[in-house]
Every structure is written in structure tokens, then in C-alpha cells.
A and B are shown apart, each in its own frame.
Chain A
Amino acid sequence: QSALTQPASVPGSPGQSITISCTGTSSDVGAFDYVSWYQQHPGRAPKLMIYDVTKRPSGVSNRFSGSKSGNTASLTISGLQAEDEADYYCISYTSSSTLWVFGGGTKLTVL
């Protein structure tokens, strides 16, 4: 069982917006602004999409945005495109000795 809770799957249609949640605790998501999101296509390495809750690395589309409220972080993808279909993982820095906790991943399906 993963330390951070994500929905197993989220459906979306081209052009729509979807939000993926990532729920942790006051020791990780709620304690630090160090939540990051990763996109992983089948057979590929994860790619950083959002870091420090809201920041986008250079080259990542502005259709991707992040936010946080309390112990829950969220990734929003607007203007869904077929290429957005992938698995998405959240990671948070934590005060425990393990340093980071991972979400179980969310499969985004673009119908």
C-alpha cells in the first residue's frame, strides 16, 4: 500500500480538463511544499511535470498545473490531448527517514 493515495484511474475526453488528487498526511504533503508529479508512458522512464507543488520545468506544457490544500495535492491537465494518456505519480518529501513517499499512480485514459 502506497503512502500517498491517488485514484487508480481517471477518464477524460479530448479538450476537457481533469484533476488527479494525491492525499498524504501532515508529515509529508501537508508539511512541505515539495510535492512533485511525474508522467510515465508505457515502457518509458518517468518525466517530471510539476515540482514544488506548482512549478513547471522548462519545456512542460502550461496545460499542466499543480496545487495543494492541506494534506491533498492535485494535478490538473487542461485541454486534454491523446498524448496525455499515461500513468501519473505524485511524490512528496517527508519528515520520516525515508525522505520521500510515493503515490500508487493514476492511469489517465483519454477517450
Chain B
Amino acid sequence: EVQVVESGGGLVQPGGSLRLSCAASGFTFSSYAMSWVRQAPGKGLEWVSAISGSGASTYYADSVKGRFTISRDNSKNTVYVQMNSLRAEDTAIYYCAKALLHWGAFDIWGRGTMVTVSS
């Protein structure tokens, strides 16, 4: 079965750090770009970051640039996002999503992991 499973969410204080993981299975992981998309409580979807299949190219939304770092370990079929200098507005469910080969859409989504930034 093709799936991705997120982990690592939790409660963190403003200014703190957290690393989310996304474990993939059921497909040739290194062939596909992966992305993180978040959803604040009661709000719409917001793209956060993406990484190419090889890991050589990374992309970030302006709202997280300089604070978040995306990476992947193709030997472990896992993608990560290191989140530093967290703010209250980063509070959201973080979804991991697999991109189609041409990067035009996201066909597999995880159930998400909740990140709460609060003192």
C-alpha cells in the first residue's frame, strides 16, 4: 500500500524547535518530490516546503524561509522538516504529501501531525 506517515508533532514554546518526520512506503521514494503542507486550526491549506527526489533542490514558502529546513534520507524512505524559531502562527496540522512525477499535484497525503506553539 502506498502511504506516508507523519510523526514528531507536539507542544513547543515560542522560539523553540521541532523536527517532523514523514515515513514513506509502497513506492520508489527517491523518484518523487515530497512536500509539507500545513493547515492552521479552522483555516485553509498552506504549502510550506518541498524537496526533489534526489534532495538536491529545496523550496520554501516565504513565511518559513530561513527558519525551516527540509531534508530527506532516501535510504530510510523518510523526509524531514526541521522547524526553528517557531512562532504562534506556525501552529497547525502538518501534512506530508507525495508529488506526482511532473510535480503538478499531490497524490498521496498523510494523516498529519499537530504542532502547537504556545507558552
Q: Taking beta carbons and an 8 Å cutoff, which residues of A are in contact with B?
A: 2, 32-34, 36, 38, 40, 45-48, 51-52, 57, 87, 89, 91, 93, 97-105
A57 and B59: CB pair below 8 A? no
CA distance A99 to B61 in the complex (A): 9
B107 and A48: CB pair below 8 A? yes
B44 and A89: CB pair below 8 A? yes
A-B contact pairs, 9 of them (CB 8 A): A45-B95, A51-B107, A52-B104, A87-B44, A91-B106, A99-B59, A102-B44, A104-B44, A105-B44
A36 and B105: CB pair below 8 A? yes
Stretch of B20-28, B70-78, B82-90, B109-117 at the chain-chain interface: B109-117
B47 and A100: CB pair below 8 A? yes
| Interfacial chain B residues near A100, Cβ < 8 Å | 35, 47, 50
Are A99 and B104 also in contact (CB < 8 A) when A45-B109, A89-B45 are?
A: no
CA distance A93 to B35 in the complex (A): 13
Interface 0/1 of B40-84, CB less than 8 Å to A: 000011110010000000010110000000000000000000000
B107 and A98: CB pair below 8 A? no
Are A47 and B109 also in contact (CB < 8 A) when A99-B50, A102-B46 are?
A: yes
